[in-house]
Amino acid sequence: MENSVAYEKATELRLGLPGIDEPAVLSSVKNNKRPLHDEKSGENGKSAENETAPPSKAQIVGWPPVQSYRKNNFQQAKKSESECGGIYVKVSMDGAPYLRKIDLKVYKGYPELLQVLENMFKFTIGDYSEREGYKGSDYEPTYEDKDGDWMLVGDVPWEMFIRSCKRLRIMKGSEARGLSCSGV
Amino acid sequence: MNMNYFPDEVVEHVFDFITSHKDRNSVSLVCKSWYKIERYSRQRVFIGNCYSITPQRLIARFPGLKSLTLKGKPHFADFNLVPHDWGGFVYPWIKALAKSRIGLEELRLKRMVVSDDSLELLSKSFPNFKSLVLVSCEGFTTDGVAAIAANCRFLRELDLQENEVEDHRGHWLSCFPESCTSLVSLNFACLKGEINLASLERLVARSPNLKSLRLNRVVPLDTLQKLLMRAPQLVDLGIGSYVDDPSSEVFSKLKAVIQLCNSIRSLSGFLEVAPCCMSAIYPICENLTFLNLSYAPGLQGNDLTKLVQHCRKLQRLWILDCIGDKGLGVVASTCKELQELRVFPSDPFDAENAAVTEEGLVLISAGCPKLNSLLYFCHQMTNAALITVAKNCTNFIRFRLCILDPVKADPVTNQPLDEGFGAIVRSNKSLKRLSLSGLLTDQVFLYIGMYAKKLEMLSIAFAGDSNKGMLYVLNGCKKLRKLEIRDCPFGDVALLQDMGKYETMRSLWMSSCEVTLGACKTLAKKMPSLNVEIINESEKLESEQLELSFDDRLLVDKMYLYRTLVGDRKDAPEYVWLL
């Protein structure tokens, strides 16, 4: 099926260099229309699968109709985010033989960070509450901030946290519980 | 009493009250005497297609011209469908105006190619020049902007919107002389490079009439705070970089000065933003009528929602789809004055994670009775939702829906979206602009032809089954001015059925359709008042293909036709064939 489509396209008289992406992609889109009318007829369904990428992911020229200025802006914003360089901090865990390093910029917020720490060191962090810190586990995630103080992870907004965090330490046992007192 | 008994000055005075272009055009057609009076008194001219007339004829007819608006490239140029040097050069216009006695004061350009030379010539040729507005233009650098700053002694408005500008990181801002104190509006958000912050502060300090200021991303928060101290009278503010530690002294100062800025009605920018700083903005949210966060990808859905909750008087909202359906629900319950909503995709290439669906739109339609203008990028749409929207909203003037996955059917029923769009056009009798998307058959065009009697602009992509679709539209939409079509099975039969129709329209664009070269040639031959252009981008055609290119059966990739009073243009590049 795919071959006959390609043959048709090759013999169609069109102004333009042969082998440009655009006609090929468009033919996949046009073919996809039919399966939605008929109930997913086998051949058409197959040809859709055989294409290298579904229409939404393939780069159809000029689609979606977003101004190129806007599109360029987002690409630049994404680029500059990654170009900024990561915020790499050391992570230590009480009792573990060696430290790890992670890039805080990669994560979108606390839940993701805590999940990663749990996976990295194979332990469970308790549930966070503003009043009581992390309940339900022997471990508490802490960090050293710009002023050299050891703080509980999760109290300040994420953006502020990644800007002020110098290193992370997963504290264990009684030392940890001392930190989680709400009194400052 | 017959107006012809009045002396010309009286008639002219009456005409002063007639400001809309359409009305003035109508007035000039009444009789020779009115034509003459009108043309001498006309100060503002709008030219929707720069190739429909020449600058010489413009100057000859309107010697009193003060303000000119020009549009160049076709709309689909926004989406990279038109090569950069296709045309739309402003230089010949400025050159002709400069040679004449026209006292140009205002120039507004959209989708035109503007060179630094043009800007320099402009800045030196019109001593009373006051206002330059460039929208979606290209071809200039900050050197051209510097010339405007340096030479236009009475400049009031320098408004650069969404232009691709080569930034020479120069000193354009420092080129405003110390004697320049007339600025009312300064928008340089689209410039990418560094500017002299001290110069900016001094400029704002000596501009007591400054009402609109839109900064670019290099202007940091502490400069913003200083600028607002100097200009608490601002009505329109575009923030560049908005990043700081909320516990800092600078941030406290900003919070304090924002309390003083109670004239701000329009807010945009946040090109770089730390969400934890947004709370400082809440005091001005109460009075905002326009909020544009569409260039602020640093704000997440709940940041946006929290902000919007304070914006009870909002009339226009431009936002990214990360606000989500729930966030749109908050908009619907808060912004009862909302007239215009634009929801842009946060990630144009990732349709799967698009965050708004038909649900958000339905919520908005139910909560915002004054809604009349919509641009909505979404992951999916259903007929049921569109029918509900059509019941809730009957005031739409602009309705543009873009489902990111082209030809996507109603996910619930697997049907095309014909009925949904049909409901929209049936209940919104004032609809002037419509963009379609999703799976659509000829049926939707039948509805459009039947009901969209006031429609002026229609954009179609990947829709329809046959020529009938296009014919329904051409026959039914009497007020149609602009029709743009891509990737639809419309061909010669539809194109040639009613050639006279195109003289009543500004332009027609058809790309990747089924129109042949022969049909285009026929149209061009039979209609001398139309320019029919074929854009053929494969510049490096082999000689064998060149021979092929004379075959009338060839399907044309891109065709753009427009009515004109002045025949073929002389500035088309080689790959544009003027038939």
> Which pLDDT tens digit goes with each residue over B197-238?
999 999 999 999 999 999 999 999 999 999 999 999 999 999
- Model confidence band, residue B538 (pLDDT cutoffs 50, 70, 90): low
Residue A45 lies in a domain: no
Please indicate if any CB of chain A lies within 8 Å of the CB of B78. Answer: yes
What's the gap in Å between the CA of A157 and the closest CA on chain B? 7
B579 has pLDDT over 90? no
Q: Are strands B482-486 and B67-71 parallel, antiparallel or unpaired?
A: unpaired
Minimum mean pLDDT among A177-181, B387-391, B536-540: which range?
A177-181
Please tell me which residue, B349 or B184, carries the higher pLDDT value: B184
Burial (Cβ within 10 Å: 0-12, 13-18, ≥19) of residue B233: middle
pLDDT digits 0-9 by tens, A84-135: 557 888 999 988 888 888 888 888 888 889 988 888 888 888 888 888 888 8
Binding-face residues of B in 354-383 toward A, CB within 8 A: 377
Count the domains in chain A.
Answer: 1
Which of A15, A20, A31 should be substituted to probe chain B, the one whose Cβ sees the most B Cβ atoms within 10 Å? A15
Please tell me which residue, B379 or B361, carries the higher pLDDT value: B361
Closest residue on chain B to A23 (Cα): B512
Residue A132 lies in a domain: yes
A33 has pLDDT over 70? no
Considering only the beta carbons, identify the residue of B246, B348, B538 that sits closest to A71. Answer: B348
What's the gap in Å between the CA of B178 and the closest CA on chain A? 33
The ipTM of this complex is 0.89
Within 8 A of B346 by CB-CB distance, chain A residues are: 74
d(CA B311, CA B329): 14
Please indicate if any CB of chain B lies within 8 Å of the CB of A33. Answer: yes
Please indicate if any CB of chain B lies within 8 Å of the CB of A40. Answer: no
- Whose tokens are 């669906």? That residue is B357
Average pLDDT over residues B375-399: 97
Predicted pLDDT at A129: 84
CATH class of B380-578: alpha beta
CA dist B399 to B309, B415, B528, Å? 25, 21, 34
Average pLDDT over residues A166-175: 83
Does the distance separating the beta carbons of B538 and A64 come in below 8 Å? no
- Cα end-to-end span (Å), chain B: 51
Please indicate if any CB of chain A lies within 8 Å of the CB of B82. Answer: no
Q: Under DSSP, is residue B166 helix (H, G, I), strand (E, B) or coil?
A: strand
Angle between helices B418-427 and B442-451 (to 10 degrees): 0
Residue A166 lies in a domain: yes
Closest residue on chain B to A18 (Cα): B538
Predicted pLDDT at B47: 96
d(CA B349, CA B347): 5
Residue A39 lies in a domain: no
A23 has pLDDT over 70? no
B463 has pLDDT over 90? yes
Residue A101 lies in a domain: yes
Residue A56 lies in a domain: no
Within 8 A of A66 by CB-CB distance, chain B residues are: 79, 344-345, 348, 377
Considering only the beta carbons, identify the residue of B76, B348, B461 that sits closest to A66. Answer: B348
- Count of C-beta atoms within a 10 Å radius of residue A91: 19
Give the percent of chain B with pLDDT over 90.
Answer: 81
d(CA B78, CA B164): 12
Q: Provide the residue range defining the domain that includes A128.
A: 95-176
Residue A107 lies in a domain: yes
Please tell me which residue, A9 or B390, carries the higher pLDDT value: B390
- Model confidence band, residue B48 (pLDDT cutoffs 50, 70, 90): very high
Predicted pLDDT at A101: 87
Predicted pLDDT at B368: 97
- Model confidence band, residue A50 (pLDDT cutoffs 50, 70, 90): very low
Considering only the beta carbons, identify the residue of B344, B435, B512 that sits closest to A70. Answer: B344
Within 8 A of A57 by CB-CB distance, chain B residues are: 349, 351
In CATH, B45-210 is 3.80.10.10:
yes
What's the gap in Å between the CA of B13 and the closest CA on chain A? 42
Half-sphere exposure at residue B162, Cβ-oriented, CA atoms within 13 angstroms: 17
pLDDT digits 0-9 by tens, B115-150: 999 999 999 999 999 999 999 999 999 999 999 999
Mean residue pLDDT of chain B comes to: 93
Within 8 A of A72 by CB-CB distance, chain B residues are: 164
- Whose tokens are 């105006």? That residue is B97
Considering only the beta carbons, identify the residue of A64, A68, A77 that sits closest to B404. Answer: A64
Query: DSSP secondary-structure letter at A19?
Result: T
Please tell me which residue, B466 or A83, carries the higher pLDDT value: B466
Please indicate if any CB of chain A lies within 8 Å of the CB of B536. Answer: yes
Give buried/exposed letters for A130-169 (b at 16+ CB in 10 A, else e): eeebbeeebbbbbbbbeeeeebbbbebebbbbbbbbeebb
Minimum mean pLDDT among B10-19, B96-105, B109-118: which range?
B10-19
Q: Within chain B, which residue ranges are assigned CATH 3.80.10.10?
A: 45-210, 380-578
Q: How many CB pairs under 8 A join A and B?
A: 120
Residue A156 lies in a domain: yes
What's the gap in Å between the CA of B547 and the closest CA on chain A? 11
- Tokens in use for B472? 């329904």
Q: A121: domain CATH number?
A: 3.10.20.90
B387 has pLDDT over 60? yes
Within 8 A of B546 by CB-CB distance, chain A residues are: none
CATH class of B1-42: mainly alpha
